[in-house]
Structure 1
Amino acid sequence: MKKIAFVIALTLSMLACKNESKDVVDNSKNKTYTLLGTVKGMPDSSMVIISEANKTIDSAIVKDERFTISGSLEEPISVYLSIKGTRDYTTLWLEPGRLTFSAEKGKFKQAEITGSGLQKEDNRLNAQIVALRFQQDSIENLIRPDMTKLEKQVLLGAYFDLEREEDSIYKSFIAENNHSLVSAHILNIYKTTWGKATTQSLYDKFTKEVKSSNYGKGIKEYLTLNKEPAIGDPYVDFAMLDVNGDSKKLSDEKGRVTLLEFWASWCGPCRAENPNLVKTYEMFHPKGFDIFAVSLDTDKDRWMEAIAKDGLEWTHVSDLSEENKAGLIYGVNGIPDNFLIDASGNVVGRNLRGEELNTKLAELLP
């Protein structure tokens, strides 16, 4: 079920681009766009926000149930369109030209969007995904606490079969549309989930234009950096800035048993686990145990606030970017995640938590 949260944003924005994709990476083309919006039932002074990667691109104020947003683009991108202070949101493709958006208050996910060739392809692909997600939701609703273990296993088996079918649809789209910027968008999202071998195979088939796009560059960076050490492999060193702006290396912990912990202030499960991690640290730190925590935060203030609030006394680093370099190196596709490294510098465990982590540390630090 872990994958549900990871892909939910992608469900609405899934992709496209055939002949249009060759234009989106051509710098000689017009880069300006105008989005004309109609939102039935939306009060005046409501703020429409367009954002990408948690950053606001533009905004507008609704008047007489209408809004207009104009701007320029380096290349088409998949963005969120939302109303500030509400749960109204959807995703759409911004690309040069005249685009229209029509929806009702509270029903943004059923919006009609025109003027974008990418959006048309997105809608066709997304129709297949929505059908699978509906079946997954139905299975989740059938799972009850009083079920037997076998009954749950049967339902979960059916659920994960649908996940594999979903992956197959995405991979087939990418393989059949190697000229498509949308294919690069999908692969850029799923690269750490599918792993280096699958990502490399699909990326190699892309056209030169797609590889040169921002999504293509993101995939290339992952392929260049990724090492994803397995249990028994030596750790991979890296350097990153701490909360004071000083460079810290993982190798600074050499000779001590170290937990390389990936987390973020906005990650609920991470924050819920922190009290247990504090107890583990207090128990084993005097014996030679350290934690080297890498945050996937992009907001430094929230990152530092979480460190203070949760009482995390160990080393903290982050590059405050959407594509955390250490995460790419270690192949992190969801958090919390961690790698336990022994005093000799070898990975001896991954994603160990609570008593399982304590038991392993007791073996390493008797």
Structure 2
Amino acid sequence: MKRCFCILYVLALVLGLVSCGPGGSSFRVKGSFRDMQSGELYIYNANAKYAKLDTLTIQEGRFQYKGEIDEVTPFMLVYPNGVEQVIFIGPGEDLTYEAAANDLRNYVVNGSDENKLMNKFREETFSMNPSSIITSVRSYIKNYPASLVAIYLFDHYLVQNELVGNEEVKEMLKVLKPKHSRNHYLLDIESKIASADKRRVGKTLPDVTLTRKDGKTTKLWKTSCDYHLVTFWATWMNNSYSFTGRLREVLNSAEPEKLRVVAISLDIERFRWEDQIRQDSLNSHLEHYCDGLSFESQAVKTLGVGTVPYYILTDKNHKVLDCGEDMNQLGNAISKYVK
């Protein structure tokens, strides 16, 4: 009887411990704000393998996010003003997130070594200029090549930076690959790097399949025009409305018969995309497409697009004239080429 009681006691203790936090592939993030009582945020996994956008509801200054995952990966927390913050989440982890809505650069995530390292990077680079931050990124990649933080910094600051040379990107990839040969996040980045060569200035942009609002598919190059402007955006990005406003300025400055504008949405929730384009006065001048696959979209992966907003301007033969994230640069390119 005593032995039976001991077994039951141990089982109860184990079950009690399990109930206190996640285990196995489960995870939990508990967030709190010092100055925000209610609201909504988006969160998505930066690893295309888990392409999904979730909504977090803030009540009484707190939120809780649960799920399952089989490897450590960066999640991106998206605020209504478009500011993104990274949280590294792994199987079995119980994390805490603390922030202030009026100071979004200063946030802390506790509960894992990866987040501790990312906290350290943010603190060290908080007052640095962009050039110094890139220097720090290089050091972190070389000093912590086995960390997921190194992969994230590589992607965010080097791969997605048009000012960083392709040779440096490939050299840094060589530093990371031996430590992460099977990591899906790095494999996806590597594929993106290879695809990015297809959209460099002077290259001929390949044809891709696009999904219309009615669900039917079509090809990018089905229509002939002197110039083609292919844009990538999403309703959840920080400047979705200013992006469409900039497109409006571009269209007003160019002759409509000379410039074709294609808007490819990376929204996962198509209804949000449909709501926004329904309200937009540009609809008659834009070709809107969305397949709901976000960064897993065939068009996005084929063209190596890793951020939004993004644009690619081509001539009638589909030769790339200009590309990038800067919408002011786009205006200059339109003035230069589309006369």
Band the TM-score falls in, shorter-chain normalisation: 0.5 to 0.7
Other structure's SS at 1:227 match = helix
**2 CA distance for matches of 1:212 and 1:71?**
22
Query: What CA RMSD, in Å, does the superposition of the two structures yield over aligned residues?
Result: 4.2
Name the CA distance, whole Å, in 1 between partners of 2:230 and 2:83.
34
Aligned counterparts, 1:1-366, within 5 A: 30-35=24-29, 51-53=43-45, 55-56=53-54, 71-79=67-75, 91-97=86-92, 99=94, 101=96, 103=98, 113-132=109-128, 162-190=129-157, 191-193=159-161, 194=164, 196-207=166-177, 210-254=180-224, 256-264=225-233, 266=235, 267-279=240-252, 283-285=255-257, 289-308=259-278, 309-313=280-284, 314-323=286-295, 325-327=298-300, 329=303, 333=307, 335=309, 337-342=311-316, 344-350=317-323, 353=330, 357=334, 360-362=337-339
The superposition leaves residues 191-227 of structure 1 with CA deviations (integer Å, 9 ceiling, x where unpaired) of 2324643333222232456242232132122033222
Q: 1:271 is matched by which residue type in structure 2? A: T
Please tell me whether the aligned partners of residues 199 and 312 of structure 2 are also in contact (alpha carbons under 8 angstroms): no
Letter of the 1:52 counterpart: Y
Deviations 1:106-158 (A, max 9, x none): 688666654311121112222111131xxxxxxxxxxxxxxxxxxxxxxxxxx
CA distance in 2, matches of 1:289, 1:34: 48
Q: Residue deviations 1:63-106, cap 9 Å, x none?
A: xx987765432222334679x99999965333344645375876
Secondary structure of 1:75 counterpart: coil
Q: 1:353 to 1:310 in 2, by over 3 A?
A: farther
* Distance (whole Å) between structure 1 residues aligned to residue 77 and residue 256 of structure 2: 47
SS at 1:240's partner residue? strand
Contact 2:35–2:102 (8 Å) recurs in 1? no
Alignment check: 8 A CA contact 1:341 1:349 kept: no
* Contact 1:88 1:108 (C-alpha < 8 Å) held by counterparts: no
Distance 1:163 1:226, change over 3 A: same
Deviation of the 1:240 alpha carbon: 1.9
**How many residue pairs were aligned?**
295
Structure 1 stretches lacking a partner, 5+ long:
1-28, 133-161
| Farther off after superposition, 297-306 or 176-185 | 297-306
For residues 230 and 88 of structure 1, the distance between their equivalents in structure 2, rounded to whole angstroms, comes to 27
Decide whether aligned partners of structure 1 residues 47 and 211 sit closer, same or farther in structure 2, where only a CA change above 3 A counts. Answer: farther
Shift of 1:166: 0.7
Shift of 1:299: 3.5
Query: Structure 1: how far apart are the matches of 2:123 and 2:266?
Result: 32
Quick one: distance in 1 between partners of 2:313 and 2:81? 38
Q: TM-score, normalised by structure 1?
A: 0.63
Shift of 1:311: 2.9
Contact 1:258 1:292 in 2 (8 A): no
Inter-CA distance 213–239: structure 2 relative to 1 (3 Å threshold): same
Q: Which letter does structure 1 place at the counterpart of 2:88?
A: W
**Which letter maps to 2:71?**
E
C-alpha separation between the residues in 2 aligned to 1:345 and 1:88?
34
Q: Does the 8 Å contact 2:29/2:64 carry over to 1?
A: yes
Gap regions ≥5 residues in structure 2 = 1-22, 46-51
1:325-361 Cα distance to aligned partner (Å, 9 max, x none)? 545526575535231312x343345577558636633
Decide whether aligned partners of structure 1 residues 69 and 208 sit closer, same or farther in structure 2, where only a CA change above 3 A counts. same
How does the TM-score come out when normalised to structure 2?
0.67
